[in-house]
């Protein structure tokens, strides 16, 4: 899948990354971006969305209600994105589709050995430079940046998620519960009384906190 995605990105026409920036981001941003309405962005974005839909880990961590269609950026030598906070609401141009940005996502598409610099740095996280195909979720409310690329090219997909559970600490509790349920199910089988009770706790908390 990664080879196909990168092949399509190689053939695409890129534009100034400030095409989708707010005022604050435009002052800090220096990169290129795939036009949001381009055929390549739509096609590759659908591939990313299909993969997300098959990822139990993503669903457990994000509890997604709505996902903004993936966008794609590219940083060459000397390019960076300074400190900024993502917009609270993202509106897709020419439509009534909008999401509250509870979570930001960065899906790395370049192998770390292919570029120097380009680390994602967000509040509460160390420098992040993941293998191609790996993704990180972090609060969209956090101040974050991408350090200057000094060699090669860094490509990534980025997008925002409106979660069913707005509160970050509540999502963390539910995520820990979900992981515990999965581990206990593998160890004891799905029918134990304790596991049934714990699953009930998870769903009762989700029922209490979810906004649909």
CATH of the domain at 188: 4.10.860
Domain region containing 205: 168-209
User: What is the end-to-end Cα distance of the chain in Å, rounded?
Assistant: 32
In terms of domains, do 14 and 78 share one? yes
Amino acid 1: pLDDT? 82
CATH of the domain at 29: 2.60.120.620
In terms of domains, do 105 and 137 share one? yes
| Secondary structure percentages of the chain, helix, strand, coil, to 5 | 40, 30, 35
In terms of domains, do 196 and 94 share one? no
In terms of domains, do 93 and 143 share one? yes
Quick one: what percent of the chain has pLDDT higher than 70? 96
Q: What's the average model confidence in pLDDT over 16-31?
A: 69
* Angstrom distance (rounded) from CA 26 to CA 30: 8
Q: How many domains does the chain have?
A: 2
Amino acid 29: pLDDT? 85
Per-chain mean pLDDT for the chain: 93
In terms of domains, do 114 and 201 share one? no
State phi, psi for 12 to the nearest 5 degrees: -85, 160
Q: What angle do CA 88, 48, 25 make, to 5 degrees?
A: 30
In terms of domains, do 105 and 180 share one? no
In terms of domains, do 13 and 80 share one? yes
Amino acid 188: pLDDT? 84
**Alpha carbon 9 to its chain's center:** 18
Residue 204 has pLDDT above 90, yes or no: yes
In terms of domains, do 179 and 86 share one? no
In terms of domains, do 173 and 159 share one? no
pTM of the complete model: 0.91
């Amino acid at each position: 899948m990664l080879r196909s995605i990168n092949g399509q990105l190689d053939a695409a026409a890129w534009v100034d990354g400030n095409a989708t920036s707010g005022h604050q981001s435009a002052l800090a941003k220096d990169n290129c971006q795939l036009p949001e309405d381009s055929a390549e962005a739509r096609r590759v974005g659908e591939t990313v969305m299909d993969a997300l839909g098959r990822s139990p880990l993503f669903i457990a961590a994000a509890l997604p209600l709505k996902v903004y269609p993936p966008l794609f950026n590219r940083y060459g030598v000397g390019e960076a994105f300074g400190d900024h906070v993502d917009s609270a609401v993202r509106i897709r141009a020419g439509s009534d589709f909008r999401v509250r940005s509870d979570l930001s996502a960065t899906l790395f598409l370049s192998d770390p050995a292919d570029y120097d610099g380009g680390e994602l740095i967000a509040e509460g996280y160390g420098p992040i430079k993941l293998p191609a195909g790996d993704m990180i979720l972090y609060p969209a409310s956090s101040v974050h940046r991408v350090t200057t690329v000094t060699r090669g090219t860094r490509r990534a997909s980025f997008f925002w998620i409106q979660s069913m559970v707005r509160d970050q600490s509540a999502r963390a509790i539910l995520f820990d519960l979900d992981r515990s349920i999965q581990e206990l199910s593998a160890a004891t089988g799905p029918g134990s009384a304790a596991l049934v009770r714990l699953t009930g706790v998870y769903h009762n908390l989700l029922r209490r906190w979810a906004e649909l």
